[in-house]
């Protein structure tokens, strides 16, 4: 199979995942399309280097990096450094998932509200939540894509979820 054919069969199936991540990071359709196109161009260029690695995390890493480069250039305010001081605490990640009344409250949250809350999360938290919860990726994969240790993935997930929960609760409260 030629290069185009191999690219089609291994990388193209992950276009939706690529677009979803880019759309959540850029927060609009037009920019997401631009970023994904550019990322695919890069992916094609470095396709030979993919050998042996899994296509989805490999591609998403390119998409993710293209997104952040784009954000740094076009919306630097979106790329705030995160405080990972408590990173490595897997417990924190677990703690945020417990079945609390606050979490149950989220069940009544509608899609628009969740989308808004997630969109407003700092990009560093947003990306791990999107990969974990919307894309259903493993911690290991997320760590590879975001270029951070697994412990940081977990602590960012924990904090991101916490922030998201608070944001959603506030929205639900305001709405009712």
Partner 1 sequence: MNMTPKNGQGGEPLVARDATYYRAPDALRARIRSTIAAETRRQSRPKLWTWAGMAAGMAAASVISWNVALMQARSGGDDLLEREVASAHVRSLMADGHLNDVISTDQHTVKPWFQGRLDFAPVVNDLAPSGYPLTGGRLDYINGRPVAALTYRSRLHVMNLFEWPAANPGETKPELVTRHGYALVRWKHGGLEYWLVSDASGADLLKFAQVFAQ
Distance CA 126, CA 71 (A): 14
Distance CA 89, CA 152 (A): 8
Question: Among residues 76 and 81, whose Cβ is nearest to partner 1?
Answer: 76
Distance between first and last Cα of the chain: 58
Nearest 10 degrees: CA dihedral of 116, 119, 125, 131?
100
Q: Which of residues 4-43 bind partner 1 (CB under 8 A)?
A: 4, 7-8, 12, 15-16, 18-20, 23-24, 29, 32-34, 36-38, 40-42
* Least gap, CB of 89 to partner 1 (angstroms): 11
Residue whose entry in the numeric block shows the structure tokens 């979490």: 103
* Least gap, CB of 29 to partner 1 (angstroms): 7
Q: Which of residues 81-110 bind partner 1 (CB under 8 A)?
A: 90, 93-94, 97-99, 103-104, 106-107, 109-110
Give the angle subtended at the CA of 61 by the CAs of 164 and 113, to the nearest 5°.
20
Distance CA 91, CA 41 (A): 40
Distance CA 152, CA 139 (A): 10
**How crowded is residue 151: how many other Cβ atoms within 10 Å of its Cβ?**
18
Q: Which of residues 47-86 bind partner 1 (CB under 8 A)?
A: none
Site membership for partner 1, residue 172 (CB under 8 A): no
Identify which range of 50-58, 74-82, 133-141 contacts partner 1 by CB under 8 A: 133-141
* Least gap, CB of 147 to partner 1 (angstroms): 21
* Least gap, CB of 114 to partner 1 (angstroms): 4
30-56 burial: b if 16+ Cβ within 10 Å, else e: ebbebbbebbbeebeeebeebeeeebb
Which residues bind to partner 1, rule: CB under 8 A? 2-4, 7-8, 12, 15-16, 18-20, 23-24, 29, 32-34, 36-38, 40-42, 44-45, 90, 93-94, 97-99, 103-104, 106-107, 109-111, 113-115, 118, 129-130, 132-134, 136, 138-139, 154, 161, 164-165
């Amino acid at each position: 199979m030629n290069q185009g054919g191999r690219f089609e069969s291994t990388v193209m199936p992950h276009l939706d995942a690529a677009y979803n991540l880019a759309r959540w990071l850029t927060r609009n359709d037009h920019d997401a399309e631009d970023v994904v196109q550019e990322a695919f161009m890069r992916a094609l260029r470095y396709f030979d280097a993919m050998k042996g690695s899994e296509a989805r995390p490999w591609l998403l890493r390119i998409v993710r990096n293209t997104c952040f480069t784009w954000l740094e250039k076009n919306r630097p305010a979106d790329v705030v450094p995160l405080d990972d001081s408590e990173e490595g605490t897997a417990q924190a990640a677990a703690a945020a998932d417990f079945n609390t009344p606050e979490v149950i409250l989220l069940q009544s949250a509608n899609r628009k509200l969740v989308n808004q809350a997630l969109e407003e999360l700092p990009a560093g938290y947003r990306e791990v939540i999107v990969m974990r919860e919307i894309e259903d990726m493993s911690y290991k994969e997320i760590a590879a894509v975001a270029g951070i240790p697994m412990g940081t993935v977990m602590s960012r997930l924990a904090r991101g979820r916490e922030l998201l929960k608070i944001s959603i609760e506030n929205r639900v409260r305001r709405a009712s």
